[in-house]
Structure 1
Amino acid sequence: MLLIMFSQAVGSRWRLSVPWIIALGLLATPAQAASLVLESLEFSEVSGDFTITGGQTTQDALRIFQDVTGPNIDLFMSIEGLRRERLLGFRLESVVTNRTDTPWVFFDHELQEQLGVPSPEEDGLSFAQGFAFARPTSDQFSTVDEVTDIRDFVNFTGGVINPNQTVTFRYLILDNSPNDLFFLRQRPNFAPGGVGVVAPPPPPQVPAAPAPPSTPPSPTAPPIVEAPVTPPPPPPEVISEQPLPAVKVPEPGVSIGLLSLMGMAWLRRRDH
């Protein structure tokens, strides 16, 4: 973790030494508390609907996890312990999860020596504006504004944090004032330049899926009319020739026999 320390005290104020003494801490186990202590610095919830859910000490920063629930999104956190530990400043990594039902399109960070009073440039509390290597960054917002308002503030835009999404902010905090306590104000959807809290644009309208075309009724098939079946012609009747009944020829009777004998006798006589 980056800790910036003093080399000496002058009266009741501390004066920055050059070069800085940078102490690197080891990775710490995340803590879970509304008031959190990391590397002897105490972070506490002051006002607004948010919760400090945990923290870590990384190689170059103090990481603070927070959930913002709303509806009051004017969030104040107190930070205490720099003077006690003879420290000038540290790098903060603020990890914020949107637990509201509204997308965030701006996010403002402001330092205050007195709660509710903007910090002027000459009070010794700052975001280290004079050091190019320590400019604020964010993993979700692409634009950082540090010049619009004359106060110790950083405003992020150029991104959208939808409900249940998380955004991370990294910046260096320096405090050369005699006070051991100062405040960090965080405000989602706060635009710089006197604009104040803005309503995010409505989400793009999702075009309604076109209604499926009504299915035309299936054409009704005409009733099948069977053609009349003409019975096949009957086969020709074959008339078999019946044999004629035999004509009975009467057998020669006695009378014919007598006539035959008489004829034969007559023929004999004629011959004689």
Structure 2
Amino acid sequence: MARHLPILLVLAQPVAVAPALGADDLGRWHAGPYSFSDEMGGFTIREISGTGSAEDPVVLIQEMVSASPVTLVVRAEKPVRARDFSGNFAHGFIHMQIVALNNSGLPWLEFEFELQEIVGEPSTFGDGLSFDQRRTETSNISSDRYAEYSRDFEPYDRLIFRNGYTDPLQTATFRIFITDFTPRWEFFLVQDPTVPFS
């Protein structure tokens, strides 16, 4: 099911953010109760800010040096307690704004995100991890470069942004909402730009 995105509205919305932080000694970038890591390679996190709430989303700025899929590692850095928004726990809900610099040398025609609880294995409905799967209509998913998106469920949890492009050395911004109703201490966000066939 394709959704058309109000691109101009997305650009006009102000975003309040917490101060940007650097990586810790393990190479993890902290935002709210979670950390984010580029340890699996292919891209570099440049900056992060925010707490992950709707009002203060995690804003992750990254540079992608390849057109191959890359994997962002997300870890709970506080004890896990589902739906506890006191600030003392990783609760399983993360509003994110990912700003990706295309330094791959190739244009991106589409851009795909996939959630995985185990690297290389599709996420299923039973694991509770999704892109706001319980809502069929959502304002939590958008992009400034792609006019439409579709969501694939079972056996995957995927978002595919299409009907747009990102040229080399341009940035694309994606707003997503990750929900995990049975929160784990670690999960993975695979990012895969589609490039033209030669």
Q: TM-score, normalised by structure 2?
A: 0.76
- Residue 29 of structure 2 is aligned with which of 20, 33, 36? 36
Contact 1:47–1:74 (Cα < 8 Å) also in 2: no
Letter in 2 for 1:75: V
| Residue 162 (structure 1) aligned with residue 157 (structure 2) | no
5+ long unaligned stretches in structure 1: 1-25, 190-198, 203-272
Contact 1:35–1:52 (Cα < 8 Å) also in 2: no
Structure 1 residues 52 and 125, CA, compared in 2 at 3 Å: closer, same or farther?
same
Give, in whole Å, the separation in 2 of the partners of 1:41 and 1:148: 25
Give, in whole Å, the separation in 1 of the partners of 2:32 and 2:48: 11
Q: Higher RCO, 1 or 2 (CA under 8 Å, sep at least 6)?
A: 2
Q: Secondary structure at the match of 1:158?
A: strand
- Residue 76 of structure 1 is aligned with which of 44, 66, 71? 71
Give, in whole Å, the separation in 1 of the partners of 2:33 and 2:152: 32
Structure 1 residues 134 and 180, CA, compared in 2 at 3 Å: closer, same or farther?
farther
Q: More strand by proportion, 1 or 2?
A: 2
Give, in whole Å, the separation in 2 of the partners of 1:161 and 1:149: 28
Superposition deviation, residue 51 in structure 1:
0.1
Superposition deviation, residue 178 in structure 1:
4.7
Give, in whole Å, the separation in 2 of the partners of 1:30 and 1:36: 10
Letter in 2 for 1:186: Q
Q: Secondary structure at the match of 1:103?
A: coil
Give, in whole Å, the separation in 1 of the partners of 2:40 and 2:28: 12
Residue-by-residue CA offset, 1:72-121 (whole Å, 9 max, x unaligned): x2110111117261413121111100011100001000000001111012
Q: Secondary structure at the match of 2:98?
A: strand
Which residue number in structure 1 is paired with residue 185 of structure 2? 180
Which residue number in structure 2 is paired with residue 95 of structure 1? 99
Q: Secondary structure at the match of 2:39?
A: strand
Structure 1 residues 46 and 117, CA, compared in 2 at 3 Å: closer, same or farther?
farther
Structure with the greater alpha carbon radius of gyration: 1
Q: More helix by proportion, 1 or 2?
A: 1
5+ long unaligned stretches in structure 2: 1-15, 82-88
Q: TM-score, normalised by structure 1?
A: 0.57
Give, in whole Å, the separation in 2 of the partners of 1:178 and 1:172: 14
Structure 1 residues 102 and 149, CA, compared in 2 at 3 Å: closer, same or farther?
farther
Residue-by-residue CA offset, 1:232-258 (whole Å, 9 max, x unaligned): xxxxxxxxxxxxxxxxxxxxxxxxxxx
Contact 2:100–2:172 (Cα < 8 Å) also in 1: yes
Structure 1 residues 136 and 99, CA, compared in 2 at 3 Å: closer, same or farther?
same
Name the % identity.
30
Contact 1:49–1:69 (Cα < 8 Å) also in 2: yes
Q: Secondary structure at the match of 1:118?
A: coil
Structure 1 residues 149 and 201, CA, compared in 2 at 3 Å: closer, same or farther?
farther
